[in-house]
Amino acid sequence: MKTDDNFKKLKYKVAAFYNFISIVDTDILLIKEELSELSENKEIKGTILIASEGVNGTVCGTENAITQFIELLMNLLKISDINVKYSWTEKQAFRRFKARKKKEIVTIGLKQINPKKCVGKYIKADEWNEFLEDPNTVVIDTRNEYEIKIGNFKGALNPHTSSFREFPAWVQKHLKPLIKENPSLKIGMYCTGGIRCEKATSYLIEEGFSDVHHLEGGILKYLEDVSHEKSLWDGECYVFDQRVSLDHDLSPGSHRMCHACGLPISPEDLKKPTYIKGLQCEACVNKFTDSDRARFAERQRQIDEIMKRLPENSIWPSS
């Protein structure tokens, strides 16, 4: 198991967290105000989503600042524990702090789905390999196509979705027929930190599926707890911040972000003739107008000037 001591040399600590808990509108406003004030005072950056169903977010700051943030969040929610995974980085993983009120903290688009009511059975990270290798299981990656492309558990089903909203339709079209033909199969699911699987397993149970499981703490917890030698993870794990991806040590990976379309770029993609820094990658080469490209070029010029003038700045490098 990795510990914070492995990463003390890095300046910034990142906390990815969520909790499904009922929150009234007046408390949502209070939570936003209190967390925004602390973040401004302690130079914490990141994004937090707050809804009547709970909270979901990732923030980055010094170790002391992040400790204060999580303590304040739990105090505001009146809870003694929260689902949180930590990692470290040499540079600030976000450009600003945003706290937003949303209808859902992870969007599936179905009001009746309530993870506080029911979810699948949790599988600990150190028990996940056994589940993966069980021939009587079907394992589903509930993340998006571009996330799965840069890392996954081999053999897992890829629903080929571009957003989590598309997952229920995939279940109806593909998973239901599969389980109907193989009713003895145990279903397992995983995602980055566990939150999407909370809703995905809840949805399956509401739809009448049985023997539904999910990886507790998601890929991030697996990478934290399972050694390289025993790991069945292949590739890197996409994260929704300026680091883009994490390697098995939970350190920033080899991928960068296309600042035209926002998709991850592999080291191989950077070498392709279709790639132009800040303007386009192979995935978006035909998606923007000339005026868009001109705007992207001016933005990249400004970024390059800042990086040249302030090479030691704390902003993650632009691709």
Q: Which residues are catalytic?
A: 191
The residue type at 255: H
Pair 91, 318: CB distance under 8 Å: no
Of 52, 59, 58, residue with least CA distance to 104 = 52
Question: What is the distance between the alpha carbons of residues 125 and 224, in angstroms, rounded to a whole number?
Answer: 9
Indicate the pairing of strand 12-20 with strand 256-257. unpaired
The residue type at 153: F
| Strand extents, DSSP E, 106-160 | 121-123, 137-141, 151-153
Sign of the torsion angle spanned by Cα atoms 215, 102, 82, 97: positive
Question: What is the distance between the alpha carbons of residues 4 and 253, in angstroms, rounded to a whole number?
Answer: 18
The residue type at 119: V
- Give every CB contact of residue 311 below 8 A, 6+ residues apart in sequence: none
Question: What is the distance between the alpha carbons of residues 104 and 107, in angstroms, rounded to a whole number?
Answer: 5
